[in-house]
Chains A and B, each alone.
Chain A
Amino acid sequence: MLQLVDVYKIYHVGDEEVRALDGVSLAVGAGEFLGIVGPSGSGKSTLMHILGCLDTADFGTYYLDGRPVEFYSESQLATVRNEQIGFVFQSFNLIGHMTIAENVELPLLYRGTKASERRELVHEALSQVGLWERRSHRPNSVSGGQLQRAAIARAIVTRPSLLLGDEPTGNLDSRTGHEIMELFCELNARGRTIVLITHDQSIAKRTNRVVHIRDGKVVA
């Protein structure tokens, strides 16, 4: 489903050259649940940005569904993100003055989905994460685990082919973190392709395959 071939991402800090990604090659098949593990500064967030089409590689090729994305314009990348990728962030990124259901509905509003279809999709997404009963609550009146469930519902509401998680359990206690991982496992069991980035080995163990990254290189 997605494949990185010899990908480099290089930043310049003063006179120094920092290779955030140093020849990374990686393939993820459809329906796979991959964990990318690495310490802080290892290049995993850069990798996540490239996999999520939020950034492009300086060298190398990234194939998404068999098509190289490095020659895509910013608007084409935006279309890919909107139609094919769902993001879950560490800090939930929910809007405080809106209800859980309204937050989940946002990506559908951005793409101009009709109201009747929006209601159906929001119901489906919130039911999948077990939050339908809490749909009218605001983010400040639910727990951290429920916030992340809402963020996951928002990520899957557009039915993306790829779900990307950037440290999705990073702001949660270990018990809630494992509950969230349980949810990711359920979503994967329903056929969704998931790539999670984490520094926590115990979280990564819950995925089907683990890739270790260090100093911008895949080491195992």
Chain B
Amino acid sequence: MEFIETLSQMFTYTFLVRALIVGLLVSLCASLLGVSLVLKRFSMIGDGLSHVGFGSLAVATAFNWAPLAVSIPVVVLAAFLLLRLSERGRIKGDAAIALISASALAIGVFVVSKTTGMNTDVDNYLFGSILALTQQDVVLSVVLSLGVLIIFVFCYHRIFAVTFDETYARATGIPAGFYNTVLALLTALTIVLGMRMMGALLISSLVIFPALSSMWLCKRFAAVTICAAIVSLVCYVIGLVVSFVYQTPTGASIVLVNLAAFTIFYAISRLRMLRGA
């Protein structure tokens, strides 16, 4: 009852309603994409892109440009670049991500220090703020999540093939490059939308944690995907409520709830193994 009362109290604040809608939709997209990214060993792409997002937001703020208009194309471009570098470049995937990630962060910090200074805006970009969300974010989140869901439902088997065995997927006539590009594009958009709420340093947790937690308990791709989506949504709501009740930073609260879920799932899987042994 107390929980319901807290929720209804939360819904009296417009910014919290926005945070709930955007957060749930971004969490759903991030968890669905996360399963493929983790299995393809692209987990750190989310982290790299969020740093690029920070750099672009810092530049946009410094020059007084619209944040999303700058960060969406920049992060999408970075996603394509990371994908190409991992596939064809001389620099291997993890090194390419580290290179781009550190450079973007440095550009952001440099631009900020030379212009607006390390003010509240920059702090919000790094660690997130639910106050930063606008009506435009709500609309974009709805459009993005619909896009991700439609692609997942209609291309499920193809995404599955590209995730598990790209060589065989190509051999059976699946344009793996196209699906990799779609995954990168959707990840970039998810990162940009979720970044201002979760923070550049924490947004990648929405991509990685739910998938990893689910993999402790589920073995099949469909089960892992559904479980990851549920875990992500539940953790988001709990994290948001914790943040509201205890006045803690939202992004950090959500990550800690995800960490708790990961630990519980790990413990359950170990118990199962011990009972089976």
Contacts and interface: CB of A to CB of B under 8 A. Distances in A.
Given A78-B175, A82-B174, A110-B173, 4 more contacts: A97-B220, A98-B220, A110-B161, A110-B172
B73 to A, nearest CB: 25
Nearest to B171: A87
Contacts of B168: 87, 89, 93
Interface residues of A, number: 22
Contacts of A52: 171
A179 interface: no
Contacts of B113: none
Given A54-B170, A110-B157, A110-B158, A95 B164 contact: yes
B275 interface: no
A85 B171 CA distance: 8
B165 interface: yes
Interface of B: 157-158, 161, 164-165, 167-175, 177, 219-221
Nearest to B168: A93
Contacts, number: 49
A83 B173 contact: yes
A116 interface: no
A107 interface: yes
Interface string A48-84: 0000101000000000000000000011001111110
A79 to B, nearest CB: 6
Given A97-B219, A106-B161, A79 B173 contact: yes
A54 B175 CA distance: 11
B177 A81 contact: no
Nearest to A74: B175
A81 B220 contact: no
Contacts of B167: 89, 93
A81 B175 contact: no
Contact of B173 (A80, A89, A97): A80
Contacts of A106: 157, 161, 172
Contact of B165 (A54, A82, A85, A93): A93
Given A97-B219, A97-B220, A109-B157, A82 B164 contact: no
Nearest to B172: A107
A54 B176 CA distance: 11
Contacts of B220: 97-98
Contacts of B171: 52, 54, 81, 85, 87, 89
Nearest to B176: A78
A82 B172 contact: yes
A74 B174 contact: no
Identify the 6 closest CB pairs spanning chains A and B, nearest first. A82-B173, A81-B173, A87-B171, A78-B173, A93-B168, A109-B157
B168 to A, nearest CB: 4
A78 B174 contact: yes
B175 A75 contact: yes
Contacts of B175: 74-75, 78
Contacts of B165: 93, 95
A97 B218 CA distance: 10
B171 to A, nearest CB: 4
A95 B161 CA distance: 10
A75 B178 CA distance: 10
Contacts of B157: 106, 109-110
Interface string A92-127: 010101100000001101110000000000000000
A158 B81 CA distance: 36
A48 to B, nearest CB: 11
Nearest to A112: B157
